[in-house]
Amino acid sequence: MLKEHQGEVKAKRTIREALHVICLGSNDFIENYFLLPIRSSQLTVSEYVNFLISIVNNFVREIYELGARKIGIIGLGPIGCIPVERTINFAAFGKCREEMNDAAREFNVKLQQLVVTLNTELCGLRIVLGDIFDLGLDIISNPTAYGFKNVARGCCGTGLFEVSILCNSLSPTCCNAEEYSFWDAVHPSQRAYHIVADYLLETAFSVFL
């Protein structure tokens, strides 16, 4: 499609000069490993992390062969602290699910190791990891420092479990979305995403500016 629109020479230059951003892993843990008993019965957390890392490795090598030379990978945030997981963790009085946060930490560590390997092995590649875990945890631990008043619930519905089709035109929403770090029970709010984006541009992704 790009080649048809720009021509082969310009399309190759566009791919080579573009920043390719990869963001993955959240749903693999939230909606797969920690949701479906069959997955955790088949693989340990470390084995599942290695499985995901192998997918990232293959994908990066594939787009490298297509001409990508600038790649930014966004690591996992504290997925155990999203509202729906805190709701599920009622036995711990709504605290973050630390087993999920531990999995995210392990994933990020191995992702950084992969980044080092890829930069070494693939000539001309510049790939960086944008680690947002500590930022996400700091927002939840010190919400007022970022201008948030609510980090435990989403703005949509009750904020405890609604996501996707449960957040629609008929769903009640908060009147002060800017004060919420989550839009629904899984996804960050627009303002939270802005904070993350600014952080990435000022840190890991600054090498591409």
For the chain, the domains span 2-208
At 101 the pLDDT is 99
Segment 172-188 shows an average pLDDT of: 96
At 94 the pLDDT is 87
70 Cβ contact list (under 8 Å, min separation 6): 17, 18, 19, 20, 126, 127, 208
Structure tokens at 151: 């980090």
Average predicted confidence (pLDDT) for the chain: 96
* Whether this model's pTM surpasses 0.85: yes
CA-to-CA separations, 62 to 53, 57, 66, 169, in angstroms, rounded? 14, 9, 7, 40
Torsion angle (degrees, nearest 10) of CA 70, 75, 77, 80: 150
CA distance 163 to 154: 9
At 3 the pLDDT is 77
At 165 the pLDDT is 86
Structure tokens at 47: 């084995």
Which residue type sits at 172?
Answer: P
77 Cβ contact list (under 8 Å, min separation 6): 26, 104, 132, 133, 135, 136, 137
Is-contact 194 135, C-beta < 8 A? no
CA distance 155 to 189: 8
3-state secondary structure of 150: strand
At 42 the pLDDT is 96
- One of 3.40.50.1110, 3.20.20.70, 2.40.128.30, 3.90.420.10 is the CATH number of 2-208, namely 3.40.50.1110
CA-atom Rg of the chain in angstroms: 19
More confident residue, 82 or 8: 82
Q: Exposed, middle or buried: residue 42 (CB in 10 Å: 0-12, 13-18, 19+)?
A: exposed
In the beta sheet, which residues pair with residue 72? Answer: 21, 128
4: pLDDT strictly greater than 90: no
pLDDT digits (tens, 9 = 90+) for 100-150: 999 999 999 999 999 999 999 999 999 999 999 999 999 999 999 999 999
91: pLDDT strictly greater than 90: no
